[in-house]
C-alpha cells in the first residue's frame, strides 16, 4: 500500500480480466497516434528546410509547451507564488503522459484518453507557493541525483518485466499480478521524484520506495 501522506499518489487498477492478445501484440504500433498527440503538447520543435533554386530557407515550428519548470522556479524565487493554472497544466499533462505510459507498459488495453481518468488514478496536492521554499527549487534537481541512479536501474528492470508480461498476456491473457505491482511501483517512484525535482509541488524529499 502506498504512503498516503506524500503529496503525490498514483494507483492503476489491476485488469482482473482477459486482456486483448491482439492489442498487446501490436501495442507499439497502436500507440503511435497517441504518442504523436502527446509529443505535440509535451514540447519540442521541428525544423523544415526548403530549397528554391539557389536559395535555402529554414523554418522552425515549436510544438506544445511541455511541463513548466523554469517559470515556476522564477515565480517561487522572486514572488513565492505557484500559479494555479500552471499547476493544473502540469497536473493534466502528467496524468495524460502517465496514461500513455501505462498503455505502453501493457497495464491496460483501453486506448489512452486525452482527458478521462480511465484506470490511472493520479493525484498531486495543490502547492502553496507561500509555504514552499524560495531557494530549494534551485537545487532540487541536484539533490534528487540518488533517485535518478536508482530509477535508471529500476527502469531497466521494468523494461524486462514488461517484456515478460507481454509474453504472459499472449499465452494466458493475464498480466501477472506481481509484475503489475512492480511496474506500477516504478511509475509511482518516478512520479514522486518528478513532483519534487521538476514539478516543484513539494519540498518533502521522496522516499526510496515502490509503495
**In the prediction, which pLDDT does 4 show?**
66
Q: Output the tens digit of pLDDT for each of the chain's 211 residues.
A: 556 689 999 999 999 999 999 999 999 999 999 999 999 998 654 443 434 344 444 433 334 568 999 999 999 999 999 999 999 999 999 999 999 999 999 999 999 999 999 999 999 999 999 999 999 999 999 999 999 999 999 999 999 999 999 999 999 999 999 999 999 999 999 999 999 999 999 999 999 999 9
The model's pTM: 0.87
Task: Indicate the DSSP class of residue 19.
Answer: P
**In the prediction, which pLDDT does 61 show?**
36
Question: Following DSSP, what letter does each residue of 76-126 receive, concatenated?
Answer: HHHT----HHHHHHHHHHHHHHHHHHHHHTTS--SPPPSS--TTEEEEEPP
Please, are residues 67 and 90 in contact by the beta-carbon 8 Å criterion?
yes
**In the prediction, which pLDDT does 42 show?**
81
Q: Residue 111 half-sphere exposure, CB side, CA atoms within 13 Å?
A: 11
**In the prediction, which pLDDT does 48 show?**
38
**148 alpha-carbon distance from chain centroid:** 14
**168 alpha-carbon distance from chain centroid:** 25
CB proximity list for 64: less than 8 A, separation 6 or greater: 39, 40, 41, 42, 43, 44
The residues that bridge with 59 in the sheet, in sequence order, are: 48
Every domain of the chain and the residues it spans: 8-197
Question: What are the φ/ψ torsions at residue 8 (nearest 5 degrees)?
Answer: -150, 125
Amino acid at each position: 500500500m502506498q504512503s498516503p501522506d506524500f503529496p503525490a499518489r498514483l494507483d492503476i487498477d489491476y485488469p482482473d480480466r482477459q486482456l486483448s492478445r491482439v492489442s498487446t501484440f501490436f501495442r507499439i504500433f497502436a500507440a503511435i497516434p497517441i504518442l504523436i498527440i502527446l509529443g505535440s503538447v509535451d514540447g519540442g520543435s521541428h525544423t523544415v528546410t526548403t530549397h528554391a533554386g539557389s536559395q535555402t530557407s529554414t523554418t522552425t515550428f515549436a510544438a506544445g509547451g511541455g511541463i513548466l519548470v523554469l517559470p515556476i522556479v522564477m515565480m517561487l524565487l522572486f514572488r513565492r507564488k505557484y500559479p494555479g493554472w500552471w499547476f493544473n497544466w502540469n497536473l493534466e499533462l502528467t496524468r495524460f503522459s502517465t496514461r500513455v505510459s501505462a498503455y505502453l507498459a501493457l497495464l491496460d488495453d483501453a486506448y489512452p484518453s486525452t482527458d478521462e481518468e480511465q484506470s490511472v488514478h493520479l493525484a498531486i496536492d495543490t502547492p502553496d507557493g507561500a509555504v514552499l521554499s524560495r531557494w530549494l527549487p534551485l537545487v532540487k534537481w541536484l539533490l534528487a541525483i540518488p533517485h535518478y541512479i536508482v530509477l535508471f536501474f529500476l527502469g531497466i528492470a521494468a523494461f524486462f518485466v514488461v517484456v515478460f508480461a507481454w509474453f504472459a498476456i499472449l499465452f494466458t491473457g493475464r498480466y501477472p499480478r506481481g509484475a503489475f505491482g512492480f511496474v506500477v511501483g516504478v511509475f509511482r517512484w518516478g512520479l514522486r521524484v518528478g513532483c519534487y525535482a521538476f514539478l516543484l509541488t513539494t519540498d518533502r524529499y521522496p522516499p526510496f520506495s515502490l509503495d
